[in-house]
Amino acid sequence: MITFSRRDVLAGAAFAASALSASRSLAAAPFASMQASTLYRYNIGSYELTALSDGLWERPIDDKFVRNADPADVRKAMTDAFLPADKLPIPFTALLVNTGSKLVLIDTGSGGQIAATAGTFNANLAAAGVTPAQIDIILISHFHPDHINGIKTKDDERYFPNAEIKVAQAEWDFWMDESLPGRAAPEIKGYVLNARRIFRNIADGVTRFSPGAELAPGISAIGAAGHTPGHSAFAVASGNDSVLVLSDTSNHPKLFVRHPEWQPVLDMDGEAAVATRKKLLDRAASDRMLVQGYHFPFPGSGHIVRSGSGFELVPVEWQPL
């Protein structure tokens, strides 16, 4: 019979501990700073929709961010939503609609030209198995940089070589007015110059539309003026299903869906924006429509329900297929 002394047992335990420690050190790996590809697919009737994240902008917030609300109430709304009180994380999420015959992109992201935390659209489009040359139609909700800058690269080259670009006539008329650069208010002057950089040399390839127009099979424009003069929302319908695509009708839902009467400085005409916001949120709640929000937390899809004097976003349940 083989016997072991207490010394043998302790020595064996020490060896095992040493081996385990060595294996743990060998398993060490650097921390990964990036997320995985950020896209989410779902179906509306026979159409396949893909939400594509472009990251987010952490916008500093001051007491003037909401024109008609007590800054203390705004800070409380943010902290109640587990957001920092001094900056608002604003997601950017473009939507790709595959109708079976057309690939339609709604807004194009920031083009990596706004914030270090944004600019992931191109990588996520590639992860979705789509090349820029495959996009047939681009629908633009309005001319703010986080929605149009993806049309061109930083070197001012068109990123989507074959896409027909469609914009609202009222939005075009405002931003492309030749007299606007000389008379624009200081807070929008940068936006004016940027819009002209994006569109001026491709104007011949840009189609203008009016509210109610069908822009692609099953996709129609909805007038949503207020955030900008020609701001547009979109309805996507296939079979008995539909989704209401909101751009800046509401910015972050924890503030402006819950408090639709608030007027952020981002809205050029605050009163008109409030009226539009209430009308479209009420439509979504009444019709139990799915909504897709450009500035909603990714993937930006959910339903709107009434809550007190405002509304609440109920996010979709994540589906693996």
Q: What pLDDT was estimated at residue 154?
A: 87
- CA–CA separation, 285 and 127 (whole Å): 33
pLDDT-derived band at 3, boundaries 50, 70, 90: low
Q: Output the pLDDT for position 30.
A: 85
Average pLDDT over residues 91-98: 98
- Predicted TM-score (pTM) of this structure: 0.90
Nearest C-alpha neighbor of 183 from the set 174, 172, 194, 195 = 174
Does the 35-315 domain belong in CATH 3.10.580.10? no
Percent share of the chain, pLDDT over 90 = 83
Which pLDDT band holds residue 10 (cuts at 50, 70, 90)? very low
Q: What is the pLDDT of residues 48-85, one digit of tens each?
A: 999 999 999 999 999 999 999 999 999 999 999 999 99
Radius of gyration of the chain (CA): 24
Q: What is the pLDDT of residue 9?
A: 45
Question: What whole-number percentage of the chain has pLDDT above 70?
Answer: 92
Which DSSP symbol is given to 201?
G
What pLDDT digit, counting tens, does each position of 21-57 carry?
A: 555 555 678 888 778 889 999 999 999 999 999 999 9
Six-digit token string for 151: 């049309």
**Residue boundaries of the structural domains of the chain:** 35-315
The string over 67-76, giving b where at least 16 C-beta atoms fall within 10 Å of a residue's C-beta and e elsewhere, is eebeeeebbe
Give residue 36's pLDDT: 81
What pLDDT digit, counting tens, does each position of 134-185 carry? 999 999 999 999 999 999 998 899 999 999 999 999 999 999 999 999 999 9
Distance of CA 282 to the CA centre of its chain: 21
Composition of the chain by helix, strand, coil, percent to 5: 30, 30, 40
